[in-house]
Amino acid sequence: MSMEVIHLTRRFGNVTALDAVSFHLTPGKITGFVGPNGAGKSTAIRILAGRDLPDEGDVLLDGISLCDYPEKCLAKIGFMPDSLDDSTNTNVEEYLDFTLRLHGISGQERLDRLQETIRITGLQPLLDKTIASLSKGMRQRVSLARVLLTDPEILLLDEPAAGLDPRARIELRDILRALANKGKLIFLSSHILTELDDLCDQTIIIEKGLLKKHTDLHTHVTDTLLLSSALPPAELAEKLRKRPEVQSVALEGKEKLRIILHPGTAPANFVAGLITEGVPVTGFEIARRHLEDIFLDATKGEVQ
């Protein structure tokens, strides 16, 4: 199931939290949603989850308007807010069981879904603990489990890794990748750019309610190759500039060349070709442009 966001606009008094934001999401991919504090991320996710309405624009699920026909769309969406209510004295197992009953899931199916979700999220040791007694990270696990119970086609996750310890973050990454491989559409916000870089297929960057960039992280990002050779750097640079795969060449320090390849050129294959042609390559490393670099280029640190 695809999701199309069309000119989404939301105002709060004189503040425009979202300003005609448009993008398209497809199943089987994990999309990171990033921006400075106050950029409009949580507002956007709440609208995509049907928890708020835009002043202008729409959200389409396979062409069906979420705003006009929420009854046809909401069952396909799983929303994980940035925090789970911690005031209840209900224990974890009762809370998850109640969620299933609330969605009309009963009998053996209810038991099977409960056990499978507990297994996936590693909640077995916490089942007898009350929500109120859990740490922030533990509540995040429960919140994710609540979303997964109903097996939605679209997962909207607002800061899902907040409060998780390093092992739990790795486990969360593995869970989300497995779900994407099953065809789920996953859209998540986070301030931890290095984790999104490892996890996500693409990213959407917003600032002051405006879409700044929507890019694929792994196929449309230019790779930079740092190359050293027994040849004088200036001599090698002159030769490399004539090659069709090379976008630019610059001196890096006294001995290395920083080579930017055209998109679609595999750096390892490029180096292998040089060696085959007799170029005395003595070392190389691939310095891919990461999400942090893209984010810094796309934003100015402005807040509303």
Q: In the chain, what are the domains?
A: 3-216 (3.40.50.300), 223-288 (3.30.70.100)
pTM: predicted TM-score of the whole model, two decimal places: 0.79
The low-confidence residues of the chain, meaning pLDDT below 70, are 218-222, 288-289, 302-304
Query: Which stretches of the chain are DSSP H helices?
Result: 41-48, 70-73, 92-102, 107-121, 136-149, 166-181, 193-199, 233-240, 267-276, 291-298
Per-residue pLDDT at 87: 75
Per-residue pLDDT at 82: 85
For residue 80, give the H/E element and its range. strand 77-80
Q: Which two tokens mark 129?
A: 């603990």
* Cα 169 versus chain centre, distance: 13
Per-residue pLDDT at 304: 63
Per-residue pLDDT at 218: 62
The answer to whether 228 touches 256, Cβ cutoff 8 Å, is yes
